[in-house]
């Protein structure tokens, strides 16, 4: 699977990506390639958001299991 690595534009430098071991200037890409690159960036953002949400749910679930364990082990006074 190919990875896309992008560099943030720095003072006077054009943004570039590395794909398949080759470096490309983003400015020189076709409109189709730029659109696909934008889609990939958005997909990566969505994956990061979903991982964060999944981590939150897992953490809440672990806490609920701990709370249930405490509740089941409580003795009525």
Does the pLDDT at position 75 exceed 90? no
The pLDDT-based confidence of 13 (bands split at 50, 70, 90) is confident
Confidence (pLDDT) at 3: 67
Alpha-carbon distances of 68 from 6, 8, 23, 48, 77, rounded to whole Å: 46, 47, 54, 30, 18
Q: Mind listing the pLDDT tens digit for each residue in 27-59?
A: 999 999 999 999 999 999 999 999 999 999 999
Strand (E) positions, the chain? 4-6, 16-19, 22-25
Q: Do residues 51 and 39 make contact, with C-beta atoms less than 8 angstroms apart?
A: no
């Amino acid at each position: 699977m190919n990875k896309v690595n992008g560099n943030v534009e720095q003072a006077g430098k054009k943004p570039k990506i590395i794909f398949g071991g080759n470096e490309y200037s983003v400015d020189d890409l076709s409109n189709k390639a730029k659109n696909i690159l934008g889609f990939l960036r958005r997909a990566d953002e969505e994956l990061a958001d979903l991982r964060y949400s999944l981590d939150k749910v897992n953490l809440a679930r672990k806490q609920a299991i701990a709370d249930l364990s405490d509740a089941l082990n409580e003795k009525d006074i």
